[in-house]
A and B are shown apart, each in its own frame.
Chain A
Amino acid sequence: MTDNQNAAATCLDETRFDVMVIGAGIAGAESALKLGDMGYKVLLVEKEPSIGGKMILLSKVFPTLDCAACITTPKVSETARHPNITIHTLTEVETIHRNGDRHFSVQLKKKPRYVVEKDCTGCQECEAVCPVITKDQFQFNLTARKAVYIPFNIANPRIALIDIDNCMLCGACEKACPSGCIDFTQKEQQLQITAKSIIVATGFKLFDPISIERYGYGRYKNVITSMQMERELAPTRPFNNVLRPSDGKIPDKIAYVFCTGSRDHTVGNPICSQVCCMYSTKQAQLLMGALPMADISLYYINIRAFGKGYNEFYLQAKDMGANYVKGKIGKITEKENGNLILRFEDIATGKVTEREHDLVVLSVGLLANPAIVKAFKDEKLELDAINYVQQPNMLQSPAQTSIEGVFVAGTATGPMDIPDTIMSAGAAATETSSYLTRLS
């Protein structure tokens, strides 16, 4: 059931659930779907305006090069339409208390959309008249959006919302909306619910390379992150093609800097992010398709192509002409024309070398997203040494956490790729179901 239908059915009055899933990315959606199919009543809580997490924003997935949206959208729609699943978007979990042996009491904070969900048709007339533009976070700031906006084309629910902090309060949207659904009187709501069990599927944060000063991210316009390149390659991209942000030029010498913020003690993230080698390899293949004349160089420490079909995928990129260079980039400097000089030790020759590129993509790593621990008030949700949710019984029961009745799914446990995330979410659903059976 979408927020839209929720409002219609006054599901906000619904307060008792078998499971609350925190985070509606692909792991949360998968766990919710599995449990919903088993007949459990599930509440899916998402802080963003759309469900689908980061996967819904990707171009294609490795190693099959399937369209990410084509996989995510049906799953997301199925979740949204499922009769046993209630979804609250724009909602954060504030506190979780244990309420006897069998329940958790949860306080939720639901932010106003300033749009009556059940009446919005997604027509975007409001966007057309809004005079304000502000950075579009769903395009990783490469372009802008209006103050009233639908987050992205395949957002679910596909309903407008108003970014009140950037709104000029001109009222043009309210005047233009054909269904009269804009409502500036909406207020933040506090919701109280109970759930017998909880799945933490809060995912990961992307490493922000601004902290690695020598790479120049934030200062040099043509140094972008892999997520920005992902958007440039997606069908719903911010530009009309892959272009340099400095001057709109079609790049012809593109470099990837692997392990940006991964395997690096100096930035506090000593572990491998598991996906960067392969998503960069995927992007290299897509770039060679989009820009057949471009040279793509990938600077790496080691290639970690550990999954099914991954090594073959890496070899395929090499066969297509991707130039893999063993050597970690020491420093990037910018030339006046926006080109970038990469300085590195070429491991093959043992020499410090400099090469010029016109666009640099930083293959950023994954970081833990541990904010949810603060919500647990009576018991502590233990984290591991690098702040991912601790799995005390990793081999026998990987979804178990330090709190009975609370399970974990997907990248909340550590970096992983999409197939492993889906499997982890399935495992969390199974363990939750078995716990609920024992409880009853």
Chain B
Amino acid sequence: MEKKERTIDIIKQERKVSAEVLEERKIYSRNRKAIMEVLKEGPKTIPQVAAETKLSLPDTTYFMMVLFKFGDIVVESLDDMDEYYFYELKKK
């Protein structure tokens, strides 16, 4: 395939990235890192991850489900009360 000129440089001259997009990206990176770090110790439920990362429960659920969607974490098992799943890092 012939090498194409990168078009991203052209659009960069016309558009600015909004501060909101940059901020959201920062939040995602920070939370992703925190959750992945906690899960290095082994499988955990969402409330356990929330307790360790100090993220709110809804935020932990949201970001863990995003990590689940993008294949960073997988379901390990269900707890004894059949209430919460344990999640673990996907083995790469």
Contacts and interface: CB of A to CB of B under 8 A. Distances in A.
Interface of A: 128, 131-134, 142-144, 164-171, 174-175, 179-180, 182-185, 221, 238-241, 243-250, 293, 338
Contact of A239 (B28, B58, B65): B65
Contact of B83 (A170, A184, A249): A249
13 contacts: A132-B28, A133-B66, A144-B69, A165-B18, A165-B21, A168-B21, A168-B25, A171-B8, A180-B1, A183-B7, A238-B69, A240-B85, A249-B83
Contacts of B24: 132-134
- The residue in A143, A165, A174, A248 that gathers the most chain B C-beta atoms within 10 A of its C-beta is A248
Given A133-B28, A248-B84, A249-B84, A180 B66 contact: no
A134 B60 CA distance: 16
Interface in B1-51: 1, 4, 6-12, 15, 17-18, 21-22, 24-25, 28-29, 45-47, 50
Contacts, number: 100
Contacts of A170: 8
A106 to B, nearest CB: 29
A180 B4 contact: yes
B85 A169 contact: no
B66 A250 contact: no
Contacts of B61: 243-248
A200 B58 CA distance: 41
Contacts of B18: 165
Contacts of B25: 131-133, 168
Given A131-B25, A133-B66, A183-B7, A246 B84 contact: no
Nearest to A240: B75
A171 B57 contact: no
A240 B74 CA distance: 9
Contact of A248 (B11, B22, B64, B70): B64
Contacts of B10: 184-185
Dominant SS among interface residues on chain B? helix
Contacts of B7: 174, 182-185
Contacts of A243: 61, 65, 85
A169 B8 contact: yes
A142 B58 contact: no
A288 to B, nearest CB: 16
Contact of A132 (B6, B21, B46, B68): B21
Contacts of A249: 83-84
A169 B17 contact: yes
A247 B65 contact: no
B82 interface: yes
B11 A184 contact: yes
Contacts of A166: 21
Nearest to B15: A169
A182 B1 CA distance: 14
Contacts of A240: 68, 75, 85
B47 A247 contact: yes
Contacts of A239: 65, 68
- The residue in B6, B8, B85 that gathers the most chain A C-beta atoms within 10 A of its C-beta is B8
A184 B69 contact: no
Nearest to A139: B69
A143 B8 contact: no
